[in-house]
Amino acid sequence: MMRRRWTTTVAITLASVLTLAACGGSGGGQGAQPSSGGGDAKKQVEVFSWWTGPGEADGLKAMRQIFEQKNPSYTFFDAAVAGGSGDKAKALLQSKLQADTPPDTFQGHAGAELQGYIKAGDLEDLNFLYDELKLRDVFPAQLVDQISVQGKVYSVPVNIHRSNVLWFNPSVLKEAGIAGAPKTLEEFVADLGKVKAKGKIPLSIGSEWTVTHLLESVLLGSLGTDAYNALFKPGADWSSPQVTKALETFKTILSYAGDPQDDWQPAAKQVADGEAAFNIMGDWAYGYFHNPPEGGLGKTSKTDFDWAPSPGTEGTYLWLSDSFTLPKGAKNRDGAVAWLKVAASKEGQDAFNPKKGSIPARKDADQSLYTDYLADALKDWSSDKLAGSIQHGVSVNQPWLAAITEAVGLFIGSKDVAALQKALADAAKANAQ
Amino acid sequence: MRRARTWLPGLLLVAPSIVAIGVFVYGMLGWNFRLAMTDKHDEVSEGKFVGLDNFAGIWDLPRWHLSVNHAIMFTVVFVLGALVLGWFLAFLMEKGIRGEGTFRAIYLFPMAISFVATGIVWRWLMNSGMGERAVGLNRLFDAIGLPQWQWFRDPDWGMAAMALPAIWQMSGYVMALFLAGFRGVPEELREAARVDGCGEWGVYRHVVLPLLRPVTLSALIILGHISLKVFDLIVAVSGKQIITDVPAVFMWVAVFDSHDPAKGATIASYIVLSVAIFVIPYLVWSVRKERRS
């Protein structure tokens, strides 16, 4: 009797230890599974992104096909994590990087967003690739300049989005007696007032990040391109009276905003439905307005909705870009480099961008592929001055953006311009480098 | 040898869980507190010991005050709401209505849903659109002539609205607890009270409620600790917005957006401590009670 109890005890103990070990094992092995069965000797390339939505996932697939054609010895492993602007993906990536098990290549907004990874020594610099493919000749010089850190480039930009776009409903404007899109912030404020008098929502907004998005357009429109770009240099002066004036304008504009919607889509929809007159959102909104239902609203451009550079920013492209990187310690470095080559190529970018609804970062794109809004964007991209987006990771690194987001979130409640300016100045002091 | 035989098998049986809890709960807690007492404000720096600086410094942040106030408002509304509603449901149920089993199942069902799913449904129900743009509850209220609300977007009372889905989800569970408590009150005691001239209300006031005190206390602790560390519900309803910020969301932002491990660890420590305020007195009380009996 006694003996049996002993064996039972030992068996249960062993079993529980084994279960624990098994749990640990399965967690660690995730993501290392080859994506294709059949036991072929193909090496896989793990590509980590947050492109899972309509449009963007199709673009990724198009680029993947080119990659697999050109590199028959590699298989593409799609490690995409759902979630707009990569919130959840970035959190998962953080844990992968800290555990020293990086994906072979990961998506990140080009620019300062990557600074943290660079500082932590997670990324290889890509100067060798830029030299080999002569990428400095095909990307705009200002773009390469704005994503370089001490002379080194750490990512390959695949696409360009524009942040400073004013979307509006032409018939609502007409009803309010507004002739065309406002050119300056003063005109904009006046127009907002006219719409309000007609009982429509002057400016639609979404959740708090869309307000930060609005802020960057207002800052750019009020300060001008050079002063805006200077805000992100070391020792920049966020306490200047010019910034105060910009923030006061921001407060005025915000006072015309409608009830905050859940996200940017419902806010854009208010414009498309004729409930609201204006919305300031990045040009990914074009796909939402224009694409057929399921994935879009199926509206006709120029009649149901129209666009212009946000007030006071004509001639400047407030840009952001998705890019791919080369993490140090990638399991399949050669495969990752092969992927980067496709991502940097004209063929890859022209396959990806028309589907995603963005323009290529390269200057030599096939213009016939880009129509309607995208044709406008391509034209402006080749002639405009460039300024980097705040909300989308070009001009500020992640801690800085978190501090700005927090300041704007508190401002929405308090409407206290002095407190906002102080928080912005503190954030710059703590993070500019 | 003989003595070892009596205690060793038992010890071996629990050893794996003791080790696992020791490492993954208490070890991690200790590691977290140590991290909170360093100046490791980005991922690459080493982090020197700074004592309680972070714990004091966090009170200078306007956002911290906001998130603590939000957590308190959420906790008060949620705990009271769930207790009162749960108690009331149990009270009705105890009166022996027909189809009690069915009702019990209906009220308990929300507990089977995760806070995330609850949050996504209630995000739509509590949409702040009004008038023609109203959906969800506002549309319903409009139709029956009740005032419309901003719900969780209300700058002052938003967190009270945020507690509604939590109340909806947990009050069935509280009902089950109270129902068990009601059933545990011996019929003889009630009869004795009635014989002594107690009215029905008096029976509850002087006999049943005092006997329910342990149940109430357990319910309070279970709800309280859920409430103080609430994260998933808030994120599902409103995301990481400041207007519904609570310490757990602030912690997530500090770690993954601000890349400030020490700040995140400090907030995590405060969450653990605030829960401990609820749990430790309860543990002390129950240990004492066990010893007495």
Helices within B37-157 (DSSP H only) = 53-57, 62-94, 100-108, 115-125, 136-143
Assembly ipTM: 0.86
Query: How many structural domains does chain B have?
Result: 1
Average pLDDT (A50-68) is 90
pLDDT given for residue B156 in this prediction = 87
**Closest Cα to residue A234, out of A429, A422, A427, A396?**
A429
Residue A262 to residue A143: CA distance in whole angstroms: 33
Q: Do B9 and A119 touch (CB under 8 A)?
A: no
Indicate the range of A35-39, A357-361, B88-92, B231-235 predicted with least confidence: A35-39
Beta bridge partners of A48: A106
State how far the Cα of B240 lies from the Cα of A209, in Å rounded to an integer.
9
Which residues have C-beta within 8 Å of that of residue B235, sequence separation ≥ 6? B116, B119, B249, B252
B3 belongs to a structural domain? no
Indicate the SS3 state at residue A327. strand
> How close is the nearest chain B Cα to the Cα of A418, in Å?
14
Mutation choice for B interface testing from A7, A406, A433 by most B CBs within 10 A: A406
- What whole-number distance in Å separates Cα of residue A136 and Cα of residue A383? 17
CB contact under 8 A, B256 and A12: no
Which pLDDT value is given to residue B164?
95
Find the radius of gyration of the CA atoms of chain A: 24
Q: Rounded to an integer, what distance in angstroms lies between the CA atom of residue A187 and that of residue A211?
A: 20
Residues of A in contact with B252 (CB under 8 A): 91
Residue in chain B nearest A412 by alpha carbon: B243
Note the pLDDT tens digit of each residue in A303-326. Answer: 999 999 999 999 999 999 999 999
If residue A107 lies in a helix (H) or strand (E), which one and from where to where? strand A105-109
Residue found under tokens 């400030």: B260
pLDDT at A31: 39
List the one residue out of B78, B9, B32, B15 whose CA is nearest residue B266: B32
Q: Which residues of B touch A406 (CB under 8 A)?
A: 63, 242, 253
Give me chain B's average pLDDT, please.
90
At B1 the pLDDT is 57
- Coil, strand, or helix at residue A278? strand
Q: Which of the pair, A259 or A193, is modelled with greater confidence? A: A193
Cβ–Cβ contacts within 10 Å for residue A286, how many? 26
- With CB atoms and an 8 Å threshold, state whether B243 touches A5: no
Position A12 pLDDT exceeds 70: no
Is A9–B133 a contact, with Cβ atoms under 8 angstroms apart?
Answer: no
Q: Residue A26 above 80 pLDDT?
A: no
Distance (Å, whole) CA A278 – CA B83 = 46
More confident call, A48 vs A263? A48
- Which residue matches tokens 């980097």? A388
- Please state the domain extents for chain A: 44-160+320-385, 165-318+390-431
Q: Name the band, by pLDDT with cuts 50, 70 and 90, for residue B4.
A: confident
For residue A7, is pLDDT > 80? no
Local confidence band at A146 (pLDDT 50, 70, 90 cut-offs):
confident
Contacts of A340 (CB under 8 A, 6+ apart): A105, A126, A129, A156, A324, A326
Inspect the interface and report whether the beta carbons of B242 and A409 lie closer than 8 Å: yes
Neighbouring-strand partners of residue A322? A109
Q: Which of A138, A147, A71 shows the shortest CA–CA distance to A334?
A: A71
Contact state of A6 with B155 under an 8 Å Cβ cutoff: no
pLDDT of residue A22: 45
Please count the residues of chain A.
433
Contact A206, A259 (CB under 8 A): no
Which residues of chain B make contact with A120, given a CB cutoff of 8 A? 43-44
Report chain A's mean pLDDT, rounded to a whole number: 89
Helix then strand then coil, in percent of chain A rounded to 5, is 50, 15, 35
Report which of A207, A205, A204, A201 is spatially closest to residue A409, judged by C-alpha positions.
A207
Per DSSP, the residues of A229-245 read HHTTSTT--TTSHHHHH
* Burial grade of A259 (CB within 10 A; 0-12, 13-18, 19 or more): middle
Residue of B14, B235, B257, B263 to mutate for A, most A C-beta atoms under 10 A? B257
Which of B42, B43, B242 is facing A406, going by the closest CB pair?
Answer: B242
The β-bridge partners of A203 are A257, A278
For A94, the closest of B238, B241, B256 (CB atoms) is: B256
Give the mean pLDDT of A122-147. 93
- What is the per-residue pLDDT across B153-190, written as a single tens digit (0 to 9) for each? 888 899 999 999 999 999 999 999 999 998 888 888 88
- Which of B1, B12, B250 should one mutate to test binding to chain A, selecting the residue with the greatest count of A CBs within 10 A? B12
- Cβ separation of A402 and B43 shorter than 8 Å? no
Place of tokens 């449904």: B121
pLDDT score recorded for residue A318: 96
Whole-number Å distance between alpha carbons of B259 and B200: 60
Whether A44-160+320-385 and A165-318+390-431 share one fold: the answer is yes
Across the range A335-352, mean pLDDT stands at 95
Rounded-to-integer distance, Cα A194 and Cα A185, Å: 14
- What range defines the domain where residue B269 resides? 62-292
pLDDT of res. A38:
39
Q: Which CATH architecture has domain A44-160+320-385?
A: 3-Layer(aba) Sandwich (3.40)
Q: What is the pLDDT of residue A17?
A: 52
- A interface with B, Cβ–Cβ < 8 A, is 2, 5-6, 9-10, 12-13, 16-17, 20, 87, 90-91, 94, 98, 116, 119-121, 207-208, 259-260, 262, 275, 398-399, 401-403, 405-406, 409-410, 412-413, 419
- Closest Cβ opposite residue B242 in set A87, A120, A410: A410
CA distances, A361 to each of A157, A161, A347, A378, A413 (Å): 6, 9, 12, 10, 38
For A259-307, write each residue's pLDDT tens digit. 888 889 899 999 999 999 999 999 999 989 998 887 789 999 999 999 9
Nearest to A13 among B15, B239, B254 (CB): B15
- Which residue type does B186 have? P
Judge: B243–A6 Cβ closer than 8 Å, yes or no. no
What pLDDT shows up at residue A10?
Answer: 56
- Type and span of the H or E element at A413: helix A398-414
CA distance A390 to A401: 7
- Comparing C-alpha atoms, which of A78, A155, A170 is closest to residue A124? A155
Cβ within 8 Å of residue A19, ≥6 positions away: none
Name the more confident of B278 and A409.
A409
Beta strands in A27-97 (DSSP E): 43-48, 74-78
- Chain B nearest CA to A158, separation (Å): 24
DSSP one-letter code for A307? E
Tell me, yes or no, if B9 comes closer than 8 A to chain A by beta carbon. yes
**Count of Cβ atoms closer than 10 Å to residue B101 Cβ:** 8
Residue of A65, A107, A114, A115 whose CA lies nearest to A86: A107
B260 shares contact with chain A (CB less than 8 Å): yes
Interchain CB distance below 8 Å, B243 and A208: yes
The alpha-carbon gap from A206 to the nearest alpha carbon of chain B, in Å, equals 11
Q: Identify which of A378, A397, A395, A416 has the alpha carbon closest to the alpha carbon of residue A223.
A: A395
Cross-chain Cβ contact A260/B44 below 8 Å: no
User: Nearest chain B Cα to A122, which residue?
Assistant: B44
Query: Could you tell me the CA-to-CA distances from B151 to A223, A259, A413, B158, B164 in Å, in that order?
Result: 37, 12, 15, 6, 10
Contact B9 A9 (CB under 8 A): yes
pLDDT classification of B117: cutoffs 50, 70, 90: very high
Taking the C-alpha atoms of residue B185 and residue B208, their distance in angstroms, rounded to an integer, is 7
Superfamily (CATH H level) for A165-318+390-431: Periplasmic binding protein-like II (3.40.190.10)
Tell me which residues of chain B, numbers 60 to 99, contact chain A at a CB-CB cutoff of 8 Å.
Answer: 62-63, 66
Strands annotated E in A158-285: 159-162, 165-168, 201-203, 276-280
Asked whether the beta carbons of residue A12 and residue B13 sit closer than 8 angstroms, the reply is yes
- CA–CA dist B33, B25 (Å, integer): 12
The CATH number of the domain holding residue B87 is 1.10.3720.10
Is B12 contained in some domain? no
Residue B33 lies in a domain: no
Least confident span in A31-35, A186-190, A365-369, B152-156: A31-35
What pLDDT is stored for residue A95 in this prediction?
87
The 8-class DSSP code of residue A38 comes to: T
Q: What is the reported pLDDT for A24?
A: 41
- Looking at residue B154, what is its pLDDT? 87
Residue B94 pLDDT level (bands cut at 50, 70, 90)? confident
pLDDT given for residue B97 in this prediction: 78
What pLDDT, on the 0 to 100 scale, is given for residue B63?
Answer: 95
Q: What is the pLDDT of residue A29?
A: 36
Separation between Cα atoms, residue A41 and residue B135, nearest integer Å: 55
Residues of B within 8 A of A119 (CB-CB) are: 42, 44
